[in-house]
Structure 1
Amino acid sequence: MTAALRLARPDDLDRLMALVAAFHSESGIAQDDEIRRNALTPLLDGIPHGCIYLIGPGRAPLGYIILTFGWSIEFGGMDAFVDEIYIRPAVRGRGIATEVLQDLPKALAEAGLTALHLEVDRTNETAQKLYLRSGFKPRDRYVLMSKML
C-alpha cells in the first residue's frame, strides 16, 4: 500500500471536517463543528504553527495526519506533535498508518525537525503497538499534562 500524502488546502475543509468529526466521535472528543472549523482553517490557510496532510486520494481521502510545530531545548531545535492521525475504519490494518509514521518523519528530519511526539490513550493497545513499531518510545519519567485556557 502506498499512502500518498498531500498537504491539505482550504478547499479540502469539508472532506477534512467529516474525517475529523468521525475521529472525534470514535475517540470520545466532544467538540462542535464551529470550534473544529475554527481550529482547522488556519492550518489549511498556511499558518506556520502546523499543517495537515490528507492520506490517499484527494477526492476520497483514507485519513489524515495533523502536525503542530514547536521548539525544544531538550531535543535541540524544532519539534512537532502528531496532534491527530486517523485512518477510516474500512481501510485499517493495511499498513497505511505504519507507512505514514515511517516515511513522514524521514521527510520532516530532512526539513530540520529534531523530534516527533505524540500521545496515545493508555488503554489503546493497538495504537500503542503501531507507534512502537514506528519507532516511538514511551517517556517513562514524564507525564503529559494540560491546562485549558
Structure 2
Amino acid sequence: MSAALTLAGPDHLDRLVTLVTACHEETGTKLSEEARRAGLAPLLEGIPHGAAYLIGPPRAPIGYIVLTFGWSVAFGGLDAIVDEIYVRPGVRKRGIASEALLALPKALAAGGLKAMHLEVDRDNEAAQKLYGRAGFKARETQIFMSRRL
C-alpha cells in the first residue's frame, strides 16, 4: 500500500465524508453529516485556510489528512495544523500514516510552509510514537488550548 497523497477537490467530497464519518465514529466526535459537508466543502473548493488530502488511490482512498493554515511569528511565517488524520483500520500499522506525515511537510515546505503542528491525546501512546517517527516533538513548555465559540 502506498501513502500517495492527492489534493482533494470538489469531486472527492462523498469519498471524504465517508472517511471522516468513520474517523468521527471511532473517536466519538459528534457531528451531523450536514456539518461535516459544510466543514469539508470549502476546503475542497480551494479556500486559502486549509486543504484536505486523500491517502492512497483517489478512487478508493484509504485515509485522509486535513490541514488548516495560519501564520506564526515564532516559526517565521506560514504554518499548518494537522486538524485530522485517519487511516482505515484494516490497513493500519503498515507505515502509511508515517509515510504521509513525512511526505506532506516536504512538499509544503517548497511552497513556503515553515512549521506543522498537531495535537494528540496525552494517553494515546501509539499516536505519540507515530508522530514522533514523523519528526513531531512535544513542546514541553507549552500546551495547546482551545475555546469553542
Matched residue, 2:41: 41
**In 2, distance between residues paired with 1:30 and 1:121?**
17
Matched residue, 1:147: 147
Percent identity over paired residues:
65
Matched residue, 2:122: 122
Once the two structures are TM-superposed, the CA of residue 19 in structure 1 deviates from its matched residue by 0.3
Matched residue, 1:25: 25
1:109 aligns with 2:109: yes
Matched residue, 1:82: 82
Q: Report how many aligned residue pairs link the two structures.
A: 149
Aligned AA (2:36)? R
Describe how 1:46-85 pairs up with structure 2 within 5 A.
46-85=46-85
Question: Scaled by the length of structure 2, what TM-score is found?
Answer: 0.97
**In 2, distance between residues paired with 1:142 and 1:30?**
28
SS in 2 for 1:26: helix
Matched residue, 2:131: 131
**In 1, distance between residues paired with 2:136 and 2:45?**
29
**In 1, distance between residues paired with 2:76 and 2:123?**
31
SS in 1 for 2:60: coil
SS in 2 for 1:12: helix
Matched residue, 1:93: 93
- Any stretches of 5+ residues in structure 1 without a counterpart? none
Aligned AA (1:129)? K
Matched residue, 1:15: 15
SS in 2 for 1:37: helix
Once the two structures are TM-superposed, the CA of residue 50 in structure 1 deviates from its matched residue by 0.5
**In 2, distance between residues paired with 1:42 and 1:71?**
20
- Any stretches of 5+ residues in structure 2 without a counterpart? none
Once the two structures are TM-superposed, the CA of residue 108 in structure 1 deviates from its matched residue by 1.1
Give the ranges of 4+ consecutive aligned residues of structure 1 lying more than 2 Å apart after TM superposition.
none
**In 2, distance between residues paired with 1:68 and 1:54?**
15
Once the two structures are TM-superposed, the CA of residue 114 in structure 1 deviates from its matched residue by 0.5
